Amino acid sequence: MSNKIQSIRGMNDLLPENSPLWQFVEGVMRSTLKEYGYQEIRMPIVEKTELFKRSIGEVTDIVEKEMYTFEDRNGDSLTLRPEGTAGCVRAVIENSLLRGQAQRLWYMGPMFRHERPQRGRYRQFHQMGVEVFGLEGPDVDAELIAISARIWQQLGIDSVTLQVNSLGSAHSRERYRNILVEYFKGHQDKLDKDSLRRLESNPLRILDSKNPEMQSVIEQAPVLEDSLDEEDLLHFEQLKTTLDSMNIGYEVNPRLVRGLDYYGRTVFEWVTDLLGAQGTICAGGRYDGLVEQIGGKATTAVGFAIGLERLVELMREQSLSFGEEKPHAYLVLAGEQATSVGLGVAEMIRSAVPGLRLITNLGGGSFKTQFKRADRSGARLALVIGDDEAASGMVTIKDLHGKSEQQTVSVDDVANILSRYN
């Protein structure tokens, strides 16, 4: 007896019963982005480790503790992408997409982080990310927030709130950093080991600590807002005014700092309290310095990513329904002759009625068995070809919901009748 091989902890299968909801959610996102004129880009799942270190930041939870990093057969250090922004920036530089034009891009796919798995937090999860290059904002920042808001609206989600903050320009953050180091140095006895280490390398990260014993020293820390310069403040003010004019409600959360180093100025998160501890379903912000940092020409940029597992979970929490698509018809093929002509007839019907969802009975079985399968499939109609029908080129149509009379018609007429159901 051999042992069963199991999946990796925190990496889930998406089962067929759940895929209609995922497809619905993905479809809404695709069509919304198309309506705003955004184009899809697909990047590899594996990148050089260096890319993530340089963009997300050496002193972040992701880079320090969560990356799936390995050496490939050439001895190069590679990493399964923990997020999509870094790869997207690499791709737009490498493919010269930034020459004198703005780019509005999106991507969707799996990301990998070695976190402790729990509800809403997985080791393989999926994001739909949007990135815009070459527009300084804050109009584009506002548009991105409007896109996310429209996606919630299309999905029927009404249990999320928007938090916004400005982290200021690199210059303002440097000033704030010094103030913060001074403050935390005065309270070193209250800092845990991680934070003491970060005091020199990345003091802003200390504000992100979830350690309950540090919450009061964090709460009393100076706020970044006081270090913002005039241009930062104007950018942030204009973002808020635009959100107001678009009727999008928000809370300013001065403690919102984000877990990745590349952000400056606008940052935002959509949060819900229906999902327990992992309540952020979407997060993003501006990262004006990153393109240059990765070796491209200085280009402003802003984006966000939605966590699909959390979004789908939230839809379930809100008991949202969606148009589940059952088959229109199930083709019952009884008798030897019927089976051999049946598949040919099925193909003719498919060509004649585009979009028809038709399941063909495969693997034989008695009339009774096949009708049971037809019922179980949820199909509205059974199309029946027995040996009589096969010989005369006819098909019998039976309404499985019993609403109309059974009728036997020619193959050509089947197509006509079915197009009415489609």
Q: How far is the CB of 271 from ligand HAM (least distance, A)?
A: 9
3-state secondary structure of 145: helix
Choice from 53, 54, 104, 113 touching ligand HAM (CB under 6 A)? 113
Stretch of residues binding ligand HAM (CB under 6 A), selected from 1-9, 36-44, 112-120, 189-197: 112-120
Stretch of residues binding ligand HAM (CB under 6 A), selected from 181-189, 247-255, 279-287, 400-408: 279-287
Choice from 159, 161, 209, 280 touching ligand HAM (CB under 6 A)? 280
Does residue 264 bind ligand HAM (CB under 6 A)?
A: no
Q: Which residues lie closer than 8 Å to 412 by C-beta, 6 or more apart?
A: none
Spatial contact of 67 and 79, defined as CB atoms under 8 Å apart: yes
Give the span between the Cα atoms of 407 and 396, in whole angstroms: 6
Binding to ligand HAM (CB under 6 A): which residues in 32-91?
83-85
Quickly tell me which residue has 């403050």 as its tokens.
183
Does residue 145 bind ligand HAM (CB under 6 A)?
A: no
Q: How far is the CB of 121 from ligand HAM (least distance, A)?
A: 4
Stretch of residues binding ligand HAM (CB under 6 A), selected from 39-47, 127-135, 206-214, 240-248: 127-135
Q: Which of 379, 386, 381, 376 is nearest to 398 (CA)?
A: 381
Q: Which residues lie closer than 8 Å to 39 by C-beta, 6 or more apart?
A: 103, 104, 105, 106
Choice from 61, 131, 143, 261 touching ligand HAM (CB under 6 A)? 131
The DSSP result for 301-314, as a single string, is: EEEEEEEHHHHHHH
Binding to ligand HAM (CB under 6 A): which residues in 299-318?
303-305, 307, 309-310
Q: What are the CB-based long-range contacts (under 8 Å, 24+) for 206-212?
A: 206/180, 207/180, 207/255, 207/257, 208/257, 208/258, 208/259
Q: Which of 380, 337, 377 is nearest to 361 (CA)?
A: 377
Does residue 283 bind ligand HAM (CB under 6 A)?
A: yes
**129 in a known ligand binding site:** no
| Binding site residue list | 83-85, 113, 127, 131, 258, 262-263
Q: By the criterion CB under 6 A, which residues form the site for ligand HAM?
A: 83-85, 113, 115, 120-122, 125, 127, 129, 131, 259, 280-285, 303-305, 307, 309-310
